[in-house]
A and B are shown apart, each in its own frame.
Chain A
């Protein structure tokens, strides 16, 4: 880093990406959309955007842990559909609160199952979870006979639509989730073990970390947060559809995590970045929608954002002189 002023400006920017670059990107994007689509900048719409970003944001927390530990879980979309239809169908039996709880608990359990498969089979996680992705989706179809399940619970409805002291409850929920996750990552041994496993699995194992147990816990966390995100999504829509729910969700969540600055190779991770990235992705979709851009362009746009984010991470980490496998 002795090449002078220009280089060190790049290094500074690279090191400040999560706390400076991403918020700047968000502000610029909101400003651009506000100019080309005035309705975008209304307070109502901006609050809506923050509320909707909870779906990708909360799901991204678990995925961030997963990618930091050096793995992927691409079954999250189908998992969301399966736990959604199960939880929603249980509401008449065990009530709204029970249904919400069941959704989260079942999701955590499915995550645990993923973790056991991944660690005990010793097969790359993406391919195991690819298999699980279709198994979960098929079970969701079979369980519901391919018909949507409607949610009849005021408690469940409240989660995405209610306010506490004038603040939307879902925003409080998202911040609570992020706060807890940041605490776990930074202040507990578990958080450091996750980073250690992602940085160098063999070294972590040799220094006495039970790698399998860490991985299983990470996959359980993925499921847990997917469960919460599913509750929010279902509360927004009022129903869960076995075919539509969670389509492309894995892609959204991975994009949020990567755009948030987490290295794909594992080790380096950032949760605050993921929070901003979730808002950026949600605003992008919302803004494009407001400009009446053909919804098919959104596929193209989100695909490009992911490649852009990966390329950006590579440049950043090479500037910082860190590993980005």
Chain B
């Protein structure tokens, strides 16, 4: 059982994707075309990018509920800034805004010792209000048509968002597995006190983690806003569920300390495949929400088993 669960941690999501692929290939003759496949991956990019941030947060033993509000704030800020300072300057500015909201989350969690749940829930509500205030409660149409190129354009036949996703995958992969910061994130997640005693600056690590989560939310929002050409103060309701689901489904342990970025990316593509399948059978959009919720419960069930068996194995002295 333990061997199976360890294998699952590494490759479980691949099995899900293979099963879904077989189903979709039988159901739709269009599925196995290059364009369709690229589209499915492109649809999964926002979930993947925010998922990378969420993976760091969950690896550090926390998580972030404020991603939707940060996305909304970024979206309306973009729409308002374009006429003032142009496209090239607006994007770094809004990403800095997003990162500073994240830093605020991190500061409250690290310095005031308020739990991530309450902190990010409060910041979520506050930033929702701020986004609505900034936008005056309405959607703002973006006139700069050339901005659309970022979210919908292609280079060498491949949608640009896929390049952005790969870039962030490589970046976060390097951070998590090949830098001291990444090792510290895992250390804080597995045992905060031990990390503190062995000299890890726990507060700094936490602030960094929440800044990165908000940054990824900002990037996802820039892509989304570019595709819709609308600055929306209430963007993608329910997206936080998707971000958390892809992280856990991808094999990142809720117990902290074990992040799996590969899994997160593949899980985002898997969710995108589910959406594609639901479109095929032409059901209402609410079924998307339902399916993601159910997928999360399945992932939690497996995670629960894993935690239990790993604990039992440890108690019996088996190395895991």
Contact = CB atoms under 8 A, between A and B. Distances in A.
A299 B126 contact: yes
Q: DSSP majority for the A interface? A: helix
B4 interface: no
Interface of A: 72, 74, 117, 120-124, 126-128, 130-135, 137-139, 141-142, 145-146, 248, 251, 254, 258, 264, 294, 296-304, 306-307, 310-311, 314
B32 interface: no
B241 interface: yes
Interface of B: 63, 108, 112-115, 117-119, 121-126, 128-130, 132-133, 137, 238, 241, 244-245, 248, 254, 284, 286-287, 289-290, 292-294, 296-297, 300-301, 303-304, 307-308
Given A138-B289, A304-B126, A310-B114, A127 B254 contact: yes
Nearest to B285: A141
Contacts of A306: 118, 121-122, 125
B304 A122 contact: yes
A120 B308 CA distance: 11
24 contacts: A121-B301, A123-B307, A126-B117, A127-B300, A131-B300, A133-B241, A134-B290, A134-B292, A135-B294, A137-B238, A138-B286, A138-B293, A141-B284, A254-B118, A264-B118, A297-B129, A297-B133, A299-B128, A300-B125, A303-B124, A303-B125, A304-B126, A306-B125, A314-B112
B286 A303 contact: no
Given A130-B244, A264-B115, 20 more contacts: A72-B117, A121-B303, A131-B245, A132-B297, A134-B241, A138-B286, A139-B290, A141-B289, A142-B290, A145-B284, A146-B286, A296-B133, A297-B133, A300-B130, A301-B129, A303-B122, A306-B125, A307-B108, A310-B112, A311-B112
Contacts of B245: 131
B132 A134 contact: no
B128 A130 contact: no
A85 B186 CA distance: 44
Contacts of B63: 127
Contacts of B114: 307, 310-311, 314
